[in-house]
C-alpha cells in the first residue's frame, strides 16, 4: 500500500530534484540533488494562456515526504517523466514537517 501525503494522493512516482550548479552567466548546468518518491496532481492554471503565447501553462503539485536537513527551494527543479518542472513554491502543510508540496510549472522549453 502506498503512503500518501496530505492533499496529494499516493506516492508512486519517482522524481529527481536538481539544482543549478552554474554560477556564471552561462547556460544552466543541472545536478541531481536527490531522487524521491512523490505523488503527482495536475492543477488548472488561473489564466489558461500566458500573454503572447499559444501554449497553455502546465501546472502540477508534487507531494513528497519531509526530510530533515534536506532543503528545497524555488531555485531547484523537478524532473518527472523526462520533463523539467520549475518549482514556484514549496509548502509545508500545517507546518507539521511530515510532507512538502512542490507547486511547479512545466518549463517553457519542455512544453510541446
- For the segment 59-106, what is each residue's pLDDT rounded down to a tens digit? 999 999 998 888 999 999 999 999 999 999 999 987 888 899 999 999
- Residues 42-62 have pLDDT tens digits of 887 665 555 555 556 789 999
3-state secondary structure of 95: helix
Give the residues across from 34 on adjacent strands. Answer: 17
Asked whether the predicted pLDDT for residue 16 surpasses 60, the reply is: yes
CATH no. for residue 103?
Answer: 2.40.10.270
**Average of per-residue pLDDT values in the chain:** 83
Nearest to 62 by CA among 44, 46, 41: 41
pLDDT value of position 107: 75
DSSP string, 22-64: --SSS---EEEEEEEEEEEEEE--SSSB-TT-SSBP-EEEEEE
- Which residue segment(s) compose the domain that 84 sits in? 4-110
Backbone angles phi, psi at 68, to 5 degrees: -60, 135
Q: How many domains does the chain have?
A: 1
Amino acid at each position: 500500500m502506498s503512503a500518501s501525503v496530505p492533499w496529494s494522493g499516493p506516492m508512486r512516482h519517482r522524481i529527481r530534484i536538481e539544482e543549478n550548479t552554474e554560477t556564471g552567466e552561462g547556460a544552466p548546468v543541472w545536478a541531481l540533488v536527490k531522487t524521491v518518491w512523490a505523488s503527482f496532481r495536475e492543477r488548472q492554471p488561473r489564466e489558461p494562456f500566458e500573454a503572447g503565447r499559444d501554449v497553455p501553462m502546465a501546472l502540477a503539485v508534487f507531494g513528497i515526504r519531509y526530510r530533515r536537513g534536506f532543503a528545497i527551494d524555488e531555485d531547484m527543479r523537478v524532473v518527472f517523466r523526462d520533463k523539467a518542472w520549475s518549482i514556484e513554491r514549496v509548502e509545508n502543510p500545517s507546518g507539521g514537517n511530515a510532507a512538502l508540496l512542490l507547486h511547479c510549472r512545466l518549463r517553457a522549453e519542455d512544453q510541446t
